[in-house]
Structure 1
Amino acid sequence: MKTKRIIALFLVMVFMIASLTACGSTPTTSQADPNKHLTVGLWYFGDGLDPTQSWNGWTLSRTAVGETLVKLDANSKIVGVLADRWENVDAATWKIHIRDGVTFQNGNPVTAEAVKSSLERALKLCDRATSLLPVKSITASGQDLTITTTEPYGALLGNIADPLFTIIDTSVELTNVNTAPVCTGPFKAVSYTLDKSIEVESYDNYWGGASPLGKVTYVLIRDGDTRTSALQSGDVDVAQAIDVSSLSLFENNPDYTISKVPSTRTALIWLNFSNPILADINVRKALAYSLNREELSGTLLGGIPATGPFSSSLPFGNDKLSAYDYNLDKAKQLMADSGLIDKNGDGYVEKNGKDVQLKLVIKKGTDNSTEASYLQSVFAKIGLKVIIEMADDNLAAMADKNVAFDIGVGNINTGTTGDPQYFLELYFKRGASENYGHYSNTELDSLIGKLATEMDTQTRCNIAAQAQQMILDDCPYLFMAYTNNNVVCKSNITGVEAYPIDFYLMNNTVDIK
């Protein structure tokens, strides 16, 4: 696909994909086999299928029910989906051509007007959408869509790859949009049961060719051990995100195939600035120096040690940043410098004569429990007492104002749009929706703001490097590892591959042999 000046405007993620054993691919067929029924175990659903709500669009993408105008392919390059070409007319105007011959799953044609209506719905209903797309106007003529932004905006194309902007048919009654939206993918939603299952069936008139599968059932299995057991027992045919500690059960086993690639995820820790102990930069740096990232990435998390938010394999990552090594002596000295000293000899520090205790929140799961216990023991080495709270949804728990947390642990997609702006804005700017630790730095906010209007690729990389160094210097987060994505399937399943971004999974080539 040729685009006019687009490559200079958007940063493309370059990954050396290290696949262990990829489940193979098959040619597309023209008609589904109603007798072919696949069952897939997922680790996350969301609370419905309306893409404008929460992170539900990611579920539409994983299940191949919904599609966006563009996406990131297996090599993390921007490619067209519902859009087959685009042009940057001027600094704030984008002309996008909608692929001819595409229909919604009810047979209605996908026109530029239909796409316009879907995008405008997302912008109306979702604050995250307006933060991703500063739209001045959207116009439609035939199959040509024109988006005009309020200012030059270098991240636009990558941002509309976010499944939040999944295109749905808004001309139909939207009463059931949260359980059965009308989308454009190779599978159409039949039913959604909260926290349990999603049933989909093949859409035979899919523009890319019908899936050979008749039906797919997705079951929510949050716990990693349970997901592993379900695959071993045959309750599921495919399982996403098998725990690092369980992968060996399927390696060198002819009954299963594994696809594993470096991901766009960073295992990280939020530090809550609402706690005056953590508002102290010496304490934050002490925590950073206490982490043995080689050990964390090698034994617990998989992947490679993290320096900052972005892996250096991303063009906007940087391996020359000044970060934190493993140095317990320096960590203890920083604690003492801030008056956190163990005076009663119990092994834990006090501050002004009062015991210090921090709450760590992490998602439920065996591997996560092991990780939490490891961090608890690590922080104890510098005198910090940490209690652990396991949550069904750690991010929701941290976002809940009624839930007090001090240390939040998660594994976050940091490069989902092929550009640094999205993640930096969403997690580090003052008041941002994912800034759970209430971090605020006006200088950093101003620096991130420059990305909105900067169009030169190298300058954008330089700004991203400056922002990352500022974050490391201020230490509002701790970065542990750049992790891997994996999918394990029965050996008779073909066409399933892990992607660097884990909201891509099912497609119209997956088959049962």
Structure 2
Amino acid sequence: MSSKFLSRLGATWFATAVMSTAAACFAAEPLRVGATYITSGTDPAKGSNGWALTSHGVGENLFTVDRDGKLVPELADKAERNDDLSWTITLQPGRAFSDGSPVTAKALAAGFDNTFANNKAALATGGKLSFAAVDDLTLKVTTEKPVPYIQALFAEWPLVAYTPAANGEALYTGPYSIAAFKTDASITLAPNAHFAGADSRSPVEFRKFGDAQSMTLALESGELDLAFGLPSEVVSRLKTNPDLTIKSFPVGYQYLAFLNTTRPLLADVKVRQALDLAFDRTELAAAINGGEPATGAYAAYFPFAGKNARVTDLDKAAALLEEAGWTKGSNGSREKDGKPLRLLAITYPQRPDLVTMLPVVKAQLARVGVELDTQVVESIQQVASAGDFDIALWAQHTAPSGDPAFFLNSMLRTGASLNYAKYASPEFDAILDRFASESEPDARVSIALDAQDKLFEDVPASFLVSPVWYVGVSKRLENYQPWGSDYHVLRADIGEAK
């Protein structure tokens, strides 16, 4: 597949199919949706676009997690294991891409081949996968590494299902099709005429806002029907507005701090352990007006979540810093060889809770004599990948497929493409290797708990808060029910024309 795959962002997508859909459906008033993010592009194999396109209702997966957190088939009907490295996946009959062409094993194989060739995150669980169409509805999948539970792999966010089109674009299967896309600004969605219920589904104008406060003002002024990811500090005010409904819901995300283990001041594990003990998770949860102190890498409702509260202990933190040679100077700050223990913490505006947490983290670390410079950066992945930070406040869904392995493999395994902490531990990797040969749920829980214990010891990341998020809707969408974190913001069951 050419490196220019999907690079052209013309004024319209799939002109013939979309224009015919638009003629039938744009008579309905568009739904106006706002968030602090939209997809960064329309190439499904690039970065996190697969997740975003699914969130926008454009893409689907072979398997997905439903509103109750259960892993269920989506485009697939079932998956059967042939041997350690081979599976057979049966597709649901009667499904179509947005141009009306049938969803076949051969068509999906072409898309997955492109993803595995161009997206390193797709390799996290099973290595590089290969695909062969047995017949129209039967796909044979061969994995590089054993995968005992391939349904969860195909629910991972990089593996959106699509097929490359003859014009170099892509065809998807979700309830919406892309009508227009403006980079870093907006995406216009038309009902997919080949998805059930298209005639009763409204088109959507999905806008990106640079910050949550401006999105809040747009909601208050009547410019939006749905504002996803409101800052917690505005919720009380918005609830007094009779034209709005504010809804909260728990998410599988964790707010965490990646600690860059390759930076000189954080290479010492005692310093990282001290920082972890200095974080007051109860105070951080209170600062964002929602959520619970994290117990580990996963939200508490998962069976593989940590079982015990993470401890705040300033005396022990101070003792560890002393052992590492960082003594308190006359101004109360830690020093070694005449140089201060001064760190750089970064975060990003697309998650407003993290911006709220940043000065609180600075104050908490000051209590043990650690100085902190702070930055809010727009392109967090670019900065984090370059390693230009000591601490990165991050929001991550750590079990998007209902299984614990993907997050650990993709973000903390040695050499993983998203390992922003630059953590390298053969002992930790050996724990993760056990996932490849274990399919029993209780055993996978045990592996995840062992992995978290190792992370608590080495502290490449500190897990801080399991958050609650807020969504605001107009009267037009007052029955909207948020679920699935931000993986299913636009779904087939919303946006019916009125």
The answer, yes or no, to whether TM exceeds 0.5 is yes
2:344 to 356, 359, 364: 359
- Structure 1 residues 140 and 121 mapped into 2: Cα distance closer, same or farther (>3 Å)? farther
Q: 2:248, 2:471 within 8 Å by CA — same for their partners in 1?
A: yes
Counterparts in 2 of 1:67-466, with a 5 A limit? 67-134=60-127, 135-174=129-168, 177=169, 181-206=170-195, 208-210=196-198, 212-251=200-239, 253-300=241-288, 302-320=290-308, 324-343=310-329, 345-364=330-349, 367-401=353-387, 404-466=388-450
Q: Report the Cα offset of residue 369 of structure 1.
A: 3.5
**Counterparts of 1:61 and 1:295 in 2: how far apart (Å)?**
34
What's the CA shift for 1:152? 3.1
SS at match of 2:250: strand
Partner amino acid for 1:400?
Answer: A
Alpha-carbon separation, structure 1, partners of 2:334 and 2:318: 10
- Give structure 1 regions of 4+ aligned residues with deviation exceeding 4 angstroms: none
Aligned length: 472
Decide whether aligned partners of structure 1 residues 250 and 420 sit closer, same or farther in structure 2, where only a CA change above 3 A counts.
same
What amino acid sits opposite 1:37 in the alignment?
P
- Pair 1:408–1:60, CA change in 2 (3 A): same
> Is the contact between residue 292 and residue 326 of structure 1 (CA under 8 Å) also seen in structure 2?
yes
SS in 2 for 1:140: strand
Deviations 1:175-212 (A, max 9, x none): xx3xxx32111111011111101011112221x32162
Deviating more after overlay: 158-167 vs 443-452: 158-167
User: Which residue in the other structure is 2:485 paired with?
Assistant: 501
- Assess if the C-alpha contact under 8 Å between 1:41 and 1:236 holds in 2: yes
Task: Tell whether the 8 Å contact from 1:266 to 1:413 is kept in structure 2 after alignment.
Answer: yes
The answer to which of 311-320 and 65-74 deviates more is 311-320
- 3-state SS of 2:198 partner: coil
Contact 1:254 1:491 in 2 (8 A): no
Aligned counterparts of 2:302 and 2:256: Cα–Cα separation in 1: 17
Counterpart code for 1:360: A
Task: Tell me the C-alpha RMSD between the 2 structures.
Answer: 2.0
2:28 is aligned to 35
The one-character-per-residue Cα deviations of 1:319-364 (angstroms, maximum 9, x if unpaired) are 14xx641221221122122221123x12211111212211111113
Q: Distance in 1 between matches of 2:489 and 2:349?
A: 23
Kept in 2, the 8 Å contact 1:495–1:509? The answer is no
Which of 460, 480, 493 aligns to 2:464? It is 480
- Equivalent AA in structure 1 for residue 133 of structure 2: T
Q: C-alpha offsets along residues 102-124 of structure 1, whole Å, 9 cap, x if unaligned?
A: 11111111112111222112112
- Post-superposition shift, 1:64? 0.8
Find the aligned partners of 2:234 and 2:148 in 1 and give their Cα distance: 41
Q: Could you list the per-position Cα deviations for residues 457-503 of structure 1 after superposition, in whole angstroms to 9, with x for gaps in the alignment?
A: 22111111111001001112111111123322112215532223312
Q: Which moved more, 1:96-105 or 1:486-495?
A: 486-495
Could you tell me how far apart the structure 1 residues matched to 2:386 and 2:155 are? 28
In structure 2, the CA distance between the partners of 1:252 and 1:107, relative to structure 1 (3 Å rule), is same
| CA–CA distance in structure 2, aligned partners of residues 272 and 155 of structure 1 | 32
Q: Per the alignment, do residues 211 and 63 of structure 1 end up closer, same or farther by CA in structure 2, a change over 3 Å counting?
A: farther
How far is 1:136 from its partner?
Answer: 4.8
Give me the whole-angstrom Cα distance separating, in 1, the residues matched to 2:263 and 2:163.
Answer: 46
Query: What displacement does 1:252 show?
Result: 5.4
Indicate conservation of the 8 Å contact 1:398/1:436, yes or no. Answer: yes
- Kept in 2, the 8 Å contact 1:40–1:237? The answer is yes
SS in 1 for 2:207: strand
Q: Distance in 2 between matches of 1:448 and 1:183?
A: 33
Cα 1:449–1:57 change in 2 (3 A) is same
Pairing 1:63–2:56 present = yes
How far off its partner does 1:90 sit?
Answer: 4.0
Deviations 1:130-170 (CA, angstroms, capped at 9, x unpaired): 33343254333121112232443124211211342222232
Secondary structure in 2 matching 1:274? coil
After superposition, give the CA deviation of every residue in 1:246-272 in whole Å (9 maximum; x if it has no partner): 222233543222332211111100111
CA 1:507–1:434 in 2, change beyond 3 Å: closer, same or farther?
Answer: same
Distance 1:315 1:295, change over 3 A: same
Calculate the TM-score normalised by the size of structure 1.
0.87
How many angstroms apart in 1 are the aligned matches of 2:199 and 2:229? 23
Q: Distance in 2 between matches of 1:502 and 1:303?
A: 16
Q: Distance in 2 between matches of 1:299 and 1:386?
A: 18
TM-score (norm 2): 0.90
SS at match of 2:230: coil
Any stretches of 5+ residues in structure 2 without a counterpart?
1-23
- Residues 497 and 211 of structure 1: CA distance in aligned 2, closer, same or farther (over 3 Å): farther
Contact preservation (8 Å) 2:165, 2:171: no
CA distance in structure 2 between the aligned counterparts of 1:360 and 1:192, rounded to whole angstroms: 33
Cα pair distance change 1:431/1:57, threshold 3 Å: same
The verdict on how the C-alpha distance between 1:133 and 1:222 changes in structure 2, with shifts beyond 3 A counting, is farther
Q: Secondary structure at the match of 1:492?
A: helix
Distance in 1 of aligned mates of 2:110 and 2:236: 48
Residues 400 and 45 (structure 1), Cα distance of their counterparts in 2 relative to 1, 3 Å cut: farther
Residue 32 of structure 1: how far off its partner (Å): 4.3
Name the aligned partner's letter for residue 473 of structure 1.
E
Shift of 1:456: 2.1
- 1:218 deviation in Å? 0.7
